[in-house]
Structure 1
Amino acid sequence: MSSLSMDKIVELQAWKLKELLKWREYLGVLVEAVKEVFNDRVEVYVFGSAVNGRLTVSSDIDIAIVLSEVPKSGLERARLVDKIWSVMENKGVPWWYPFEIHLLRREELSLLREAKFTRLL
């Protein structure tokens, strides 16, 4: 691999990490989007490497949205996540931003017990 290629790779990775570190700036938009999509009682948590301070260039930002009922169908869950993303994109969050959105029932929140997480909503 040429040094020019390596320079470009390093430049791209540095840019990606810089963008990833903006995750806190986008949390308010994410919370607004969740409120807009879900009218019932909902909780939003961030967990994983972002909260633990262990972000790397290949990290994502794990978001848990706790609902009273989560659709059983993967297609329905994907539609809900798509609605959230649609609102976020309209408010300036780039489509490629690495939020990993998990829809959970309250009972499943215990799965995160071992992960450090912070409640947002």
Structure 2
Amino acid sequence: MLSEKLLVSESKRRAHIFNNLDKYLRIIVDTVKMLDKDAEVYLFGSVADGRYLLSSDIDILLVTEMPPGKVIAELWKSGITDPFEIHVITKNAYELYRRRAKLIRLTSSPQETQHS
């Protein structure tokens, strides 16, 4: 009975995040840009491809020279946890991701979002 309640609660939480994804993506971009104004933020994976389920994770690629632990800790403080999967890389590793995945560049204002 308790496990069923936990599953229902988790399903509702994930549905809320997916239904309000723009809000959460804005929090991610704003938090990262506060730490590093030159950082780049991308959405990739099943959500970027439009083939996700509520059980999917939401893959976020951060291109920055900042230490990954610092960036992830700040995102956690901002409420960004599961189902977000944060990948922090340097500019040197960016090309590998660009060649292998559809990347959607995220900006603070939705009209500036770019597909690569």
Same fold, TM exceeding 0.5? yes
- Once the two structures are TM-superposed, the CA of residue 32 in structure 1 deviates from its matched residue by 0.8
Unaligned runs of 5+ in 2: 108-116
Which structure has the bigger radius of gyration?
Answer: 1
Give RMSD over aligned pairs.
Answer: 2.5
Paired with 1:28 and 1:82, the residues of 2 have a C-alpha distance of 17
TM-score under structure 1 length normalisation: 0.69
**CA 55–38 in structure 1, closer or farther in 2 if over 3 Å, else same:** same
How many residue pairs get aligned? The number is 105
Unaligned runs of 5+ in 1: 72-76, 90-94
- Residue in 2 aligned with 1:92? none
Question: Of 61, 66, 69, which residue of structure 1 is paired with 2:63?
Answer: 66
Question: Of 74, 79, 100, which residue of structure 2 is paired with 1:83?
Answer: 74
Indicate the SS of the match to 1:62: strand
Q: Note if 1:120 corresponds to 2:106.
A: yes
- Once the two structures are TM-superposed, the CA of residue 25 in structure 1 deviates from its matched residue by 2.4
Question: Of 7, 32, 35, which residue of structure 1 is paired with 2:33?
Answer: 35
Paired with 2:28 and 2:3, the residues of 1 have a C-alpha distance of 35
- Once the two structures are TM-superposed, the CA of residue 116 in structure 1 deviates from its matched residue by 0.9
Paired with 2:106 and 2:83, the residues of 1 have a C-alpha distance of 18
Higher relative contact order (CA 8 A, sep 6+): 1
TM-score under structure 2 length normalisation: 0.71
**Percent of aligned positions with the same letter in both sequences?**
33
